[in-house]
Amino acid sequence: MASIVSERYALSLYEVAKEANKAEELMNELNAVCDIFSQNPDLMKILKTPSIQLAEKKSTLSAVFEGRIDPYLLNFLMLITEKCRISLVFEMAESYKQQYYFEEGICEVTAITAVPMDDDLTEKLKNKMCAVIGKKVVLKTIVDESILGGIVIKVDNKQIDTSVKTRLSELAQQLTHIIA
């Protein structure tokens, strides 16, 4: 769960991006920046280290991101570095995404299957979920061989589990109750 500080920074960036008609673009770029920070922990370490001067941190951000991301986002990264909030950038990205999804009427759905779904099936599931939920759907697919077969769908705080693993478990419980 994001902190109030993260939510406020994210909302501020979102409002600026929305005003500039770049809300989706900045969300994608912010996620890409978070990926870069995840893949390069030393970069984040430099930005968080108090003994490194702010000018050097800003120079590092410019060297890595200038010309590659929107100037609004670069300024945002400079600001949160200056305010010693760069470590919250992952929470801020999540809060930004939640705000964007809320305002655009988008719902994130996760589908877990034992084997990868082909593009046709993925599209059918996405369309079905759009019809059921009544919102645009962003479908994330995850492969988990331990469910054996079927599908587990997660929407918000709800889960629909039609996996073979769950069905077998339920059957085993029923048999245990019958025998006992």
DSSP 66: B
How far is the C-alpha of 16 from the C-alpha of 35, rounded, in Å? 22
Q: pLDDT tens, 64-122?
A: 999 999 999 999 999 999 999 999 999 999 999 999 999 999 999 999 999 999 999 99
The mean-pLDDT minimum among 26-40, 130-144, 149-163 falls in 149-163
| Matching CATH number, 106-179, of 1.10.3910, 3.30.30, 3.40.30, 2.60.120 | 3.40.30
How far is the C-alpha of 124 from the C-alpha of 43, rounded, in Å? 41
Q: What is the mean pLDDT of residues 52-68?
A: 96
Q: Please tell me the predicted confidence (pLDDT) of residue 97.
A: 96
Nearest alpha carbon to residue 125 among 78, 176, 160: 160
Domain spans, the chain = 4-102, 106-179
The mean-pLDDT minimum among 112-121, 137-146, 167-176 falls in 167-176
Evaluated on CA atoms 45, 50, 53, 57, the torsion sign reads positive
What residue type is assigned to position 106 of the chain? I
